Amino acid sequence: MDKKQFRAESKRLLEMMINSIYTQKEIFLRELISNSSDAIDKIYYRALTDDSLTFDQEGYFIKVTPNKEARTLTITDTGIGMNQEELESHLGVIAKSGSLAFKQENEAKDGRDIIGQFGVGFYSSFMVADKVVVISRPLGSDTAWKWESEGTEGYTIEPTEKAEVGTEVVLHIKPDTEEDSYDDYLNEYRLKALIKKYSDFIRYPIKMDFTSSRPKEGAEGEFEEFTEEQHVNSMVPIWRKNKSELKPEDYENFYQEKRYGFDKPIKHAHISADGAVVYQAILFIPETTPFDFYTKEYEKGLELYSSGVLIMNKCADLLPDYFSFVKGMVDSESLSLNISREMLQHDRQLKLIAKNIESKIKGALQSMLKDDRDNYEKFYKAFGRQLKFGVYSDYGSHKETLQDLLLFTSSKDKSLVTLAEYVSRMPEDQKYIYYASGSSAERIEKLPQTEMVLDKGYEILFFTDDIDEFAIRMLMNYKEKEFRSVASGDLGIEEEKKPEDEAADEENKALFEDMTGLLSGKVSAVRASRRLRKHPVCFATVGELTIEMEKVLAAMPD
Ligand code: ADP
Ligand code: MG
């Protein structure tokens, strides 16, 4: 039997594609600029193997020129260009990517990464234009070609003139509508902002003309218009620069430029990973808690770039919840993007990067804890609660990552201590890590339950945050030392229970029974205790929950 090829109604397909792949129209500019950058890269690659060609970085650029009168937006490049046949096959065949083919033919890898791969980006121009004209002159030829299309109706190709090698894409911008402001794409400042947003780190200069006025020389009070060509993109992203070239201010400026926060970062980490996954990242720990941090509105995530082109503003998958306070960006060449390049295929690479980043953040926090204690305590006051939530959630499965990052106020000097510090100071005979819960350190200190433990010379951790006790319960123990509330019925202290106590219980049996009766429903038993020093009575708990935990649970909405 004959096997038949599928046919597609290309008109419908193009329409569907144009209107359904991308969620934002503005990305057409990113796509066209990426194509231009790829086209220049191709000359660069060609020059590597062709001695008759030299690649002089200076001579290559991309230019974006709006023309309000003609309602056109032109993207010009000095790239490799396309001949008639290439125009036909690359722009006439949907989902055919000349760049992907080029990448496959040129295995050469030296950090220049061609962006194109799906063969659809170009058509995104029809989201904002009702007619697109491409004038191209390929490298090594005197003939130029003009490709023209109004989208679904097909295209024409004819010879034309062009002085320089390269490509010019002319978009005839749609008229403004109520829903969409196409005029935006003719506005220099709006275009500049789009270039900064998506294409700031394209390796070649992206230029634009800006017209403004200045005082006219020799003519008092008069102004003249003048046009100045500006170089819009930063080209070399800070994360590709050598760490040794960068000063702390450079990172702070980047943090502010990117609007990661209005504060300053308390710490940054600049990562250049070259192992199983290749990526660069700059991560920041902010100095202050964002106002919405502990609300549902707060969105965690890092900016995600693929070869210098912005793909996602907030990629949540890159950060575990307990490190949700981290800001910054990741750039990787090895991501598999979906066709719109707006999302990622849920891929192994991303998971590996996320895992790697998690351990880098942990490392950064550990080194801050070790070498920069004051700042760590500042950090902990802003975000420590989030780490404790992390210990508590998922049944404490992150405890290995997080337990050594926790700090608690200790009865000793009321300073913040780590669990490791606490345990290292424990006297030989101390069995448990003691803690006491209350609304403030001052209140906890006055609790009668703390007397005996303090008297023994043991340290007590003061739990003043709702989450503390819950988190600790998830940890269960630290370095094989169990946690024990000072309100617990069994403190594990030897002199607690002596035969005399049994006698005292027996002696006062009638009294205690009367008291239990009077407090019926409120206490389950009254007993003699050795725990007390200055106070006549105290509460102790028998079961799993302490009084403080019960309070928190009772206050929670159902
Ligand atoms: P992709 O970039 O994913 O390959 P596009 O639809 O954006 O897909 O572009 C299709 C093809 O057209 C590219 O692969 C490239 O071969 C060619 N092309 C597009 N724009 C240009 C340009 N400015 N210069 C040279 N070739 C281009
Ligand atoms: Mg492309």
| Mean per-residue pLDDT pooled into runs of 10, the chain (558 residues) | 76 77 89 96 89 86 97 98 95 84 71 75 93 97 96 90 97 93 95 94 95 88 92 91 91 89 92 90 95 92 90 91 96 78 73 93 96 96 94 80 94 93 94 92 86 89 92 90 87 68 78 83 77 73 68 67
* Residue 237 DSSP one-character state: -
Contact 277, 303 (CB under 8 A): no
Tokens of 328: 């910054």
CA–CA separation, 415 and 550 (whole Å): 27
**Residue 149 pLDDT:** 94
**What's the gap in Å between 40 CA and the centre of ligand 2?**
13
Q: Are 459 and 423 in contact (CB under 8 A)?
A: no
**Distance in angstroms (rounded) separating the CA atoms of residues 331 and 342:** 14
Residue 77, marked binder: yes
Atom of ligand 1 nearest to the CA of 121: 7
Structure tokens at 191: 């275009």
- Nearest protein Cα to ligand 1, atom 18: 35
| CA quadruple 472, 476, 482, 487: dihedral sign | positive
The answer to whether residues 453 and 431 touch, using CB atoms and an 8 Å cutoff, is no
Query: What is the per-residue pLDDT for 49?
Result: 84
Who's near 136: CB < 8 A, 6+ residues apart?
Answer: 81, 82, 83, 87, 144, 145, 147, 162, 166, 167, 168
pLDDT of 111 reads 47
Annotated binding-site residue? 118: yes
Pocket test for ligand 1, best of 45, 113, 122 (most atoms within 8 A of CB): 122
The pLDDT of residue 2: 79
CA 341, 344, 349, 353 dihedral sign is positive
In degrees rounded to 5, what are phi and psi of residue 310?
-65, 125
For 361-392, letters b (16+ CB in 10 Å) and e give bbebbeebbeeeeeebbbbbebbbbbbbbbbb
Pocket test for ligand 1, best of 18, 35, 103 (most atoms within 8 A of CB): 35
Give the separation between CA 387 and CA 399, rounded to whole angstroms: 10
Q: Cα(100) to centroid of ligand 2, in Å?
A: 10
Atom 12 (ligand 1) nearest CA: 90
CA of 92 to the centre of ligand 1 (A): 11
β-bridge mates for residue 89, sequence order: none
Q: What atom of ligand 1 comes closest to residue 34's alpha carbon?
A: 2
Pocket test for ligand 1, best of 90, 96, 103 (most atoms within 8 A of CB): 90
Judging by DSSP bridges, how do beta strands 144-149 and 62-67 pair with one another? unpaired
Q: Give residue 208 CA to ligand 2 midpoint distance, Å.
A: 21
121 annotated ligand binder: yes
82 is in an annotated binding site: yes
Q: Which ligand is nearest to the CA of 170?
A: 1
Contact (CB, 8 A) for 437 and 444 = yes
CA pair distance 35, 121, nearest whole angstrom: 8
Instruction: For residues 13 and 552, give the distance between their C-alpha atoms in angstroms, rounded to a whole number.
Output: 58
Q: Whose CA is closest to atom 21 on ligand 1?
A: 35
pLDDT, residue 544, reads 62
* Residues in the ligand 1 pocket, defined by CB under 6 Å: 31, 35-36, 39, 77, 79-82, 90-91, 97-100, 116-122, 167
Atom of ligand 1 nearest to the CA of 80: 25
What ipTM describes this predicted complex? 0.99
CA nearest ligand 1 atom 19, residue:
35
**Residue 111 labeled ligand binder:** no
* Cβ pair 214, 94 in contact under 8 A: no
Q: For residue 439, list its beta bridge partners.
A: none
At 356, list the tokens. 């790697």
